[in-house]
Amino acid sequence: MLSLSNKRVLLGITGGIAAYKCAELTRLLIKAGAEVRVAMTRSACEFITPLTLQALSGNRVHLDLLDPEAEAAMGHIELARWADLVLIAPATANSIARIAHGEADDILTTLVLATPAPIAVAPAMNQGMWADAQTQSNIAALQQRGYTLIGPDSGEQACGDVGLGRMSQPSDIVAACAQLFDTGFLAGRHVAITGGPTREAIDPVRYISNHSSGKMAYALAEEAAAAGARVTLISGPVSLSTPERVQRINVVSAQQMLEATLTAAEEADVFIGVAAVADYRPLEVAAEKIKKNDDEMSLTLVKNPDIIWEVSRLEKRPELVVGFAAETENVVANGQQKLASKKLDLLFANEATKTFNSDDVAITVIDANGTTALSAANKHVVARQMLQLIAARLS
């Protein structure tokens, strides 16, 4: 599957008539899973507006090398480092010549010199300009430096000539860009994960919760993103940083987690319920802090929603619904019961007292065919093994 999942594409647009195709090119890059940022030369703005590209990409368009607002943090260098791929489309004869000779007098040529990312060039020019010996020399110089050449195509041109020089179609450019990357075993998939504890309020300062650190869910989210998946992480309160290229939705209570999860799960290929959701919540939440007046205090608790069961019965159910069972006894038996009662496709069980706040974990894999043990290892190592098992079950 050709995919640009989680890839960061910096699209450089130069001043040619084919610039109008960059609206569709941006749309298709995003559809393939990429995050797109755009840098335009001033002449490119004569053919397509920055506002159009900003609306399509969802990011501000970079026009000036010396942008006072961005340069406070050396913005053009940060942008060069941000990219996984720099794509110049259309690449005019002039822009190719300037890049080939190492010029750095505008935002785009400076980014080209500064980036460590691979660079792809999609030429667009008159057939005579393309055939000119100097242009061919410039193209050869770029290819010798490792640049990828995409096109050009042959056909009728804006000036009326016919021949090589047309910019390749946006769909062909996106396919060529995707082939530059190892897509990963979850490329193009959407994985939704819940993680961490929930907190159920007693009064404005007290709550019911548990010892979950969220480390297992965050390891799974990071490894899924590394494997090419689009990842939505619905997280209870934890002191962990959001993994790169992961969309994080913060929640507190079980009810909040349920609402966020159902929305994400309807679009997901895989749902993994790792969160340690509080089983019960107080029936009533005091409006003010409860004072310590009596020797005893009673709370009436009601059952919280069963999030993973709700996901498994969705009309638009993910292809795979995967659960976790953190047990203190009878790990396998309790895991098998949970697999059946919640209608799960796969379940990972572990002994909770050995894994809360730990960086290591040992897992028992449970499905309809039996059980398999994954030896104790760092949670990131085990997370990769889990995701490989999940990927193997996807159609």
Phi/psi for 285 (5° steps) reads -105, 120
CB burial readout 29-68, b (16+ within 10 A) else e: bbebbbbbbbbbbebbbebbebeebeebbeeebbbbbeee
Residue 164 CB-density burial (10 A; 0-12 exposed, 13-18 middle, 19+ buried): middle
How many CA atoms are closer than 13 Å to the CA of 122, on its beta-carbon side?
29
Placement of tokens 């997280």 in the chain:
235
Q: Is 45 a catalytic residue?
A: no
Active-site position among 22, 45, 159, 177: 159
Gyration radius from the chain CA atoms: 26
Phi/psi for 377 (5° steps) reads -165, 175
Rounded to whole angstroms, the Cα distance separating 236 from 222 reads 17
Bridge partners (DSSP) of residue 175 are none
DSSP classification of residue 167: P
CA angle, 57 then 62 then 64, to 5°: 165
Rounded to whole angstroms, the Cα distance separating 220 from 363 reads 13
CB burial readout 363-372, b (16+ within 10 A) else e: bbbbbeeeee
**197 cis-preceded (ω within 30 degrees of 0):** no
Task: Provide the strand spans (E) within 94-217.
Answer: 119-123, 148-149, 153-156, 162-166, 190-195, 200-201, 207-208
Rounded to whole angstroms, the Cα distance separating 110 from 105 reads 7
Q: Are 274 and 249 in contact (CB under 8 A)?
A: no
Q: Are 361 and 355 in contact (CB under 8 A)?
A: yes
Active site amino acids: 159
